[in-house]
Amino acid sequence: MRLCIIQSTLPLYSISFFNRIRKLNPEIELVVLANLKSDDSLNQYHPEICEFAVQHLNSVSWGGVFIRPGILRALQKINPDVIVFSGSPREWSQLIALCWWRLSGGRVISWGMFHRIGAPKVFTNVYFRLVGYLSQRCFTYTRTGAIMISHLGTPKNKIRVVGTAIDEQIPFKESSALSAEALQNFKTMYQIQGKKLILQVVRLNRSKRPELLIYALKKILTKRSDVMVALIGDGEMKSELELLAVKLGVASNILFLGAIYDEKLLCPWYLSAQVFVTPTFLGLSGHHAMSYGLPVVTDDSLDHQGSEFEILSEGLNGLTYREGDIDDLANTLLRVLDDSMLQNFMAINARKTIENVHNLNRKTQRFIREVKSLMAES
């Protein structure tokens, strides 16, 4: 079976997923189309680590949407048995290609989040309705997206929840390889020995609201003086956040570490922390943190959380605070830092969440099972 999956770019977590498809299903010929020349930070394509066929598919941004001029020609040349299109409403040319391939008698699947961050828009809803109508299957990341497109009219027998995951074996391997002595030396080097460490790994853009953690830290330090924040990430707000930390008088309690992608360098930060926080719009960083046994704190927003929010079970592997409430964020973080038994309980369950539920093998098995089901029906 020849399977073609269309991506905007190739981040490392997608490469891990596609490699796992090939490992568990060697009979599948997998071809991935993506913009390999994109300057997006999530374009992390390295040909030497890809165990599947990859082809460059150029994309052009126009008015906030993306057009892929060569998509029909590329698909005709590959002639796959099944095509998995992106369910992103910003991908107009994929909608055209989906319609064309479906009318030609081909097997088509749409795969995506299928719900919008922020208030709903008419265009997005119309797009999801069209995709749900044209596709033979709609693969959603979580139940939130499944409920959304079901309410928009997609028949329930088309909808499949395949889940979200990272390659958890990478952090598992790094955490087991780091000795206690090496970790102690690391803490000494960064002067965090004996400190309570809050970790945030996030792109520093406004949708993630990283400034809330700095305001919360100001309040936390009035109750505990032994708290540090390690902020890993880069982006448009970095200079603004550094100035805010100085203005609030908390700069000496924050480590601005910039972007770090090497797992060996990330590992000791995760193992040194007591809690992981993303103020809003939790992404796959939540899976990453739980892979290291870190409880996660994020907000309870109804319209600014992504699909990955569903990994969090209140009081079991993490906690939520009231959206936009800095006092509640500070108190929620203090609840973890002040209660070692609660922190340890959630840490154990965070790791089990990844081991038993949100792992890459389960995601891959669900995904391919449904692809093969479509093949059997056609």
Query: What is the C-alpha separation between 244 and 215, in angstroms, rounded?
Result: 9
φ/ψ of residue 10, rounded to 5: -125, 85
Closest to 91 measured CA to CA, from 115, 72, 67, 57: 67
SS3 132: helix
Which residues have C-beta within 8 Å of that of residue 27, sequence separation ≥ 6? Answer: 1
- DSSP letter string over 206-231? GGG-THHHHHHHHHHTTT-SSEEEEE
Q: What pLDDT is stored for residue 123 in this prediction?
A: 86
SS3 192: coil
- Contact predicate 66/59, CB 8 Å: yes
Query: What is the C-alpha separation between 177 and 272, in angstroms, rounded?
Result: 15
CATH 3.40.50.2000 fits 2-165+359-377, yes or no: yes
Tens of each residue's pLDDT in the chain, 378 residues = 999 999 999 999 999 999 999 999 999 999 999 999 988 888 899 999 999 999 999 998 887 788 999 999 999 999 999 999 998 888 888 999 999 999 999 999 999 999 877 766 888 999 999 999 999 999 999 999 999 999 999 999 999 999 999 999 999 999 999 999 999 999 999 999 999 999 999 999 999 999 999 999 999 999 999 999 999 999 999 999 999 999 999 999 999 999 999 999 999 999 999 999 999 999 999 999 999 999 999 999 988 888 899 999 999 999 999 999 999 999 999 999 999 999 999 999 999 999 999 999 999 999 999 999 999 986
Structural domain spans, the chain: 2-165+359-377, 169-356
Which two structure tokens, joined as six digits, stand for 294? 């870190």
**Token pair 């099944």: residue:** 82
DSSP state of 196: E
φ/ψ of residue 232, rounded to 5: -105, 125
Element (H, E) at 64: none
Which two structure tokens, joined as six digits, stand for 266? 């990330």
Query: What is the C-alpha separation between 144 and 360, in angstroms, rounded?
Result: 20
Q: What pLDDT is stored for residue 115 in this prediction?
A: 85
- DSSP letter string over 302-353? SSS--GGGGG--BTTTEEEE-TT-HHHHHHHHHHHHH-HHHHHHHHHHHHHH
Query: What is the C-alpha separation between 132 and 127, in angstroms, rounded?
Result: 9
Q: What pLDDT is stored for residue 345 in this prediction?
A: 98
- Beta-bridge partners for 32: 5, 54
Query: What is the C-alpha separation between 235 and 204, in angstroms, rounded?
Result: 4
Element (H, E) at 275: strand 275-277
Element (H, E) at 256: strand 254-258
Which two structure tokens, joined as six digits, stand for 209? 């609201």
Which residues have C-beta within 8 Å of that of residue 376, sequence separation ≥ 6? Answer: none
Fold of the CATH domain 169-356: Rossmann fold (3.40.50)
Q: What pLDDT is stored for residue 221 in this prediction?
A: 98
- Contact predicate 279/329, CB 8 Å: yes
Q: What is the pTM of this model?
A: 0.92
